[in-house]
Structure 1
Amino acid sequence: MRYLDLPIAFLDAVTVVIGRAFSWLTLFMVLMTFVNVLLRYVFGLSIIAAYETVVYAFGIVMTSVAGWALLTDQHVRIDVFYGRMSARKQAAVNVVGSVLFLAPLLYVITDRSIGYVSRSWKLRETSNEIAGLDYLYVLKTFILVFVVVLAIQGLSFLLRNLRVLILGFDPAPLAGPDQGKNTPNAEQVKQ
C-alpha cells in the first residue's frame, strides 16, 4: 500500500496550498466589512461595489477551501454512530459516501454549471446593480473551482480510506493538530 503514499501526499499538498492561499481572503473580507461600516455610518456613504467585493470574496472563499475542509475534517458529518465504529467500518462509510454521494454530487454540479458559467463568460456578465462590479462571470467560475478542489481532495480521501479499509489503519497519517481526524491511524486502532 506504500504506492498510494505519493499520490495521497501530492493531492493533500495541492489542497493545502489552495486552501491556505484562498483563506487569506477572509482577512480581506473583515477589513472590507470594517471599511464599509465606517463609510456608511461615519461618512454617510454607501458604495455598492465595496459591498459586492465582500460578497464576491465570501463566495470565492467558500468554494475554494472546500477541499481543505474535507482534508482537515471540518466538513459536516452527522456523527451518531461513526465515532464508535472501528477503523475499517469508518473507512467503509467514507468510501461508500465518497462513491455514492460525493462523486455524483460533483458530476451533477459540473454538468449543470458548465453551460451556466460558459454563458456568463460569453456575456461578460456584470452585476445587476448600476454601480456594481463588472466581473460576475469570474465569480461564477468558482463554481467549477469548487468542483475541482473538492474532486482533488475527494480522490485523496477515497484513496486514504481504501488503504485503511485494507490495512485497518492509516500508515501515513496527516501531520498537524487538526489534520488526519477523518482516517484512523495505528494508535487509534489499538485503543
Structure 2
Amino acid sequence: MLRLAGYIDAINRGIAQVLRWFALAMVMIQTGIVIGRYVFGVNSIWVQESVLYLHAALFMLAAGFTLLVDKHVRVDIFYAKAAPEIRRRIDIAGHLLLLLPSMAALAWWSWPSVRNSWKILEGPISVGGIEAVFLLKTLIPLFCGLVALQSVAILVRLLAEKDPA
C-alpha cells in the first residue's frame, strides 16, 4: 500500500512540474494583453480567455500537490497545539469524514454538467473565445480525482503509523 501511495505522490508531483509553467505563461500572456491593448490598440477575447483557462487548470490540477506538500488551508483551532498523535487522529478523521466525502459529492453533482458539455462540445464563454468550455468543465472531476487520490495516499501513510494508544 505504501508503494501505491508513492505512485500517487509521483502523479501529483509530475502534474505540478508541468503546471508551474502555466503560471509563467499566464504572466507572459497577461503582459502581452496589456501591451497589446494599451500600446497597440489590439485586443483578443480568445487570448484573454486563455489566461482564464490556464488559471483554472493551474489551481484545479495543482490541488492534489498542494495537499501532498501540506500547504492547504487548515482550520487550525485545535490542531496547532495538539500532540502528534492527536494531529494524526484529526487528519484521519478529516480525510475520511470531510475531504473524501466532499470530493465524492462534488464529482457526483458536477458530472451531469460535464457529461452534457462533452455531448454538445460546449462552445466559448464569450463570442470569439476559446471553443472548449467542455475542457474547462472537465477540470472539475479531474480536481476531485487528484485530491481524492492524494487523500488516499496520505491516509495510507497515516494508518501505517503505529498508534501508541
TM-score (norm 2): 0.94
Mapped to 2, the partners of 1:14 and 1:102 lie a distance apart of 19
Mapped to 2, the partners of 1:165 and 1:51 lie a distance apart of 51
* Structure 2: tracts of 5 or more residues without a match: none
Asked if 1:158 is matched to 2:146, the reply is no
Mapped to 2, the partners of 1:147 and 1:23 lie a distance apart of 20
Encode CA deviations 1:15-35: one digit per residue, 9 max, x unaligned: 111122222211111111111
Encode CA deviations 1:41-79: one digit per residue, 9 max, x unaligned: 111112111110000110011110000000111100122
Letter of the 1:132 counterpart? G
Asked if 1:71 is matched to 2:62, the reply is no
Q: Are the counterparts in 1 of residues 67 and 150 from structure 2 also a CA contact under 8 Å?
A: yes
Asked if 1:37 is matched to 2:34, the reply is yes
Mapped to 2, the partners of 1:8 and 1:140 lie a distance apart of 27
Mapped to 2, the partners of 1:30 and 1:165 lie a distance apart of 46
Q: Relative CO higher for 1 or 2, CA cutoff 8 Å, sep ≥ 6?
A: 2
Q: Are the counterparts in 2 of residues 12 and 156 from structure 1 also a CA contact under 8 Å?
A: yes
Q: Are the counterparts in 2 of residues 82 and 90 from structure 1 also a CA contact under 8 Å?
A: yes
Structure 2 counterpart of 1:176:
none
Please state how far the C-alpha of 1:119 moved relative to its aligned partner. 0.4
Letter of the 1:71 counterpart? L
Structure 1 counterpart of 2:135:
138
Q: Are the counterparts in 1 of residues 46 and 130 from structure 2 also a CA contact under 8 Å?
A: yes
Letter of the 1:19 counterpart? A
Q: Are the counterparts in 1 of residues 49 and 129 from structure 2 also a CA contact under 8 Å?
A: yes
* Structure 1: tracts of 5 or more residues without a match: 169-191
Structure 1 counterpart of 2:99:
102
Aligned counterpart for 2:111 among listed residues 91, 110, 114: 114
Aligned CA distance change for structure 1 residues 167 and 32 (closer, same or farther; 3 Å):
farther
Structure 1 counterpart of 2:77:
80
SS in 2 for 1:130: coil
SS in 1 for 2:73: coil
Aligned CA distance change for structure 1 residues 44 and 88 (closer, same or farther; 3 Å):
same
Encode CA deviations 1:145-188: one digit per residue, 9 max, x unaligned: 101110110101111222235369xxxxxxxxxxxxxxxxxxxx
Q: Are the counterparts in 2 of residues 121 and 137 from structure 1 also a CA contact under 8 Å?
A: yes
Aligned pairs, how many? 165
Alignment RMSD: 1.5
Extract structure 1 runs of 4+ deviating beyond 4 A. Answer: none
Mapped to 1, the partners of 2:24 and 2:123 lie a distance apart of 25
Aligned counterpart for 2:44 among listed residues 47, 54, 59: 47
Mapped to 1, the partners of 2:162 and 2:124 lie a distance apart of 48
